[in-house]
Amino acid sequence: MLVALLLLAAVGVAAGDERLADPTKAFVEGYDPSGNDFLANVPERTVLLRIRADLDGDGRPDLALSDSSTWGNAGGQWLLFRGQPDGAYVYWGTLFFAPGTAALRAGGELLLCVRTSASRGALETYRLTAAAIARTATRAVDLEQPTDRARYEATLQSGARLPVESCKLLDYRRQPTTCWRPGLGL
């Protein structure tokens, strides 16, 4: 692994340029260009999370990966991988969210409610393109306020929900293709 990283550095290939045939396998083996503390729990308590969806609207499936080690009440960090024409993936970026407070609109617009407390947070809008993931809007919300609650609900209803799947890490190591189940599994 160290030799491969040194070789990548020597030829000037950035982590985002690295093509991955199976980002989930690479993630479980330690691939994390974001530097987050993924897979920090003991394997028996670790749940892998994934979202398979066309996030940027280009007609190809993209992938978001996370695990229960980074999660709290407001969600967790997700590594996003952009699907390529040949079926490979490249690392795209990292976002913090809970799938239940996210909606995907056509054309690569991702809407998130990122909580900072039980009732407060921000509605954030991201544009996902081949070049980048860019935040295009943010607005503070207090869900105890009726107008903010209505804005929050309308935002989440304005797009498609993200199809999250879960698999216990130990199950993934035994049966990586058949262990996935709908939902968070946390």
Residue range 59-83, pLDDT digits in tens: 999 999 999 888 888 889 999 999 9
Tokens 């058949």 correspond to 178
Number of domains in the chain: 1
Is residue 1 assigned to a domain? no
For 1-11, what is each residue's pLDDT tens digit? Answer: 333 332 233 23
For the segment 86-111, the average pLDDT, to the nearest whole number, is 93
User: Residue 51's pLDDT is what?
Assistant: 96
Range of the domain at 92: 15-182
| pTM (2 d.p.) | 0.87
Is residue 25 assigned to a domain? yes
Is residue 119 assigned to a domain? yes
User: Residue 142's pLDDT is what?
Assistant: 97
Q: Which of 42, 93, 51, 96 is nearest to 73 (CA)?
A: 96
- In the predicted structure, residue 14 carries a pLDDT above the cut 90: no
Is residue 77 assigned to a domain? yes
Is residue 8 assigned to a domain? no
Is residue 7 assigned to a domain? no
What is the chain's mean pLDDT, rounded?
88
Helix residue ranges, H only, 77-182: 146-157, 169-174
Is residue 102 assigned to a domain? yes
Is residue 81 assigned to a domain? yes
* pLDDT more than 70, % of the chain: 90
Edge-to-edge strand list for the sheet holding 181-182: 19-20, 89-97, 76-83, 62-67, 47-53, 164-168, 181-182
User: Residue 186's pLDDT is what?
Assistant: 64
Residue 107 contacts residue 89 (beta carbons within 8 Å): no
